[in-house]
Structure 1
Amino acid sequence: MLPAELIEQCIACYKAFQPNKMTIDSHIEVFLASIDCADEGDEVFIKQVVYGCIRFKKLNKINLTALYFKHGTEVSREDYHLYMVFSYLTIIRLEDMGVPVFRKFVFAQDYQKMFVWLSFIFNTQTLNKWMKEEWCRIFDEQFVEDELIARLVRNIPEMSEVIERLRELASTKEADDVASEEGQKKKIETTKVEPFNLSKARPRAIPEPFPIYLENPYKKPIPKSVHAPDGDGTIKKVEEARMQAKEESLKKLAKAKGPELEMPKLSTKKEVRKGKYKGALQEAHEKEMEEKTRYIPANPKDPAPALAAANKQAIRLNTAAVLREDALLRKKQEEEAALINKYESELRDDSEYYEWQAKMRDLDERKRLEGVEQRRIQMLLTDENAKEARIQNERDNHRFAAEMRAESAAIRALHKAEQEEVLVLKQKLVEDIKESEKNVKPAMQAVVEQKMLMGMELREETRRLEEENKRRMAIEEERRMDIVRQIKALECLPADKSAHFDPTTASEDSKHLLEAMSMAELAERLAIEKEKAATREKERRNEIVQSKQEREQDLMQRVEQIRRIRDIRQQDAKEQRRRQQEKEAQEKAIKWRIRQEAQVELQAKIEEKRKIRLDEEEKLKEEMRQIEIKKQFLAAGAAQVEEKKFKELEAGAERKLHDLQARERKEHQKALEAMREDVKNRKRVQKKKVEAKEKFHTEYEERFEEDMAAMVDDFGTSHAEKRKTVSITRDFESALQDKKVVRDPNKHLTNVRSVSTARSIREAQLTTAESMRSRKLTGGTRATSVRDDVTMRATAR
Structure 2
Amino acid sequence: MAQGYATLIKEATLLLDKFNAEKQCVEEFTEDASKAIENLDALDKKFILDIISGCIEQKKLLDVVINVFYAQSGKYLLKADRNQLAIICYFSMFLIDDLGLECFSKIVNSLDIKKMHKFLSFFFNITNLSTWIQGEWSQIYDAAYVERNWIAPLLRWRPEIEILMAQLASRMSRGSQFKKATKKNTEPHEFSLTKPKARPLPAPEPIPLQEKHLLVPTSTYRVPKEKQVMEEVKQRNRQKAEQVLYKANTQQFKCANPQKSERTKRVMSQIVRSHDAQLKFDSLHTSGTPATHKPNNLPIRLNTTAILREGALYNRQVEEELRRMEQLVEGAGEPSSFLQWQKEMRERDLQEQLAQVERRRLEGRISYEEAALARTRIMERNQKTALLKKEETAKLMQRYANKRLQEEKEMRDLVQQVADGHKNSKAAKVKLQEFKQQIVKEVSEQSGELLRQALEEAQAELSRKFEIIRQIRAIESVPLIRHKFVDETETAGHDLLGEMSLTELRERLAMLRDAEQREHQDRRGHILEDKKSREQLLLEQLDTIALHRTALGQAAARRQEEKRARRELQQGVAEDERVVALQRRLEERQQERQRLKQREKTKAKISEQSATHALKSWNHRKQKLEEQHWADLEQRLERQVQQEAPNTLAQKKNTQGLDINL
What TM-score results when the alignment is normalised by the length of structure 2? 0.32
| Higher relative contact order structure (alpha carbons within 8 Å, sequence separation ≥ 6) | 1
| Structure label with greater radius of gyration | 1
What TM-score results when the alignment is normalised by the length of structure 1? 0.28
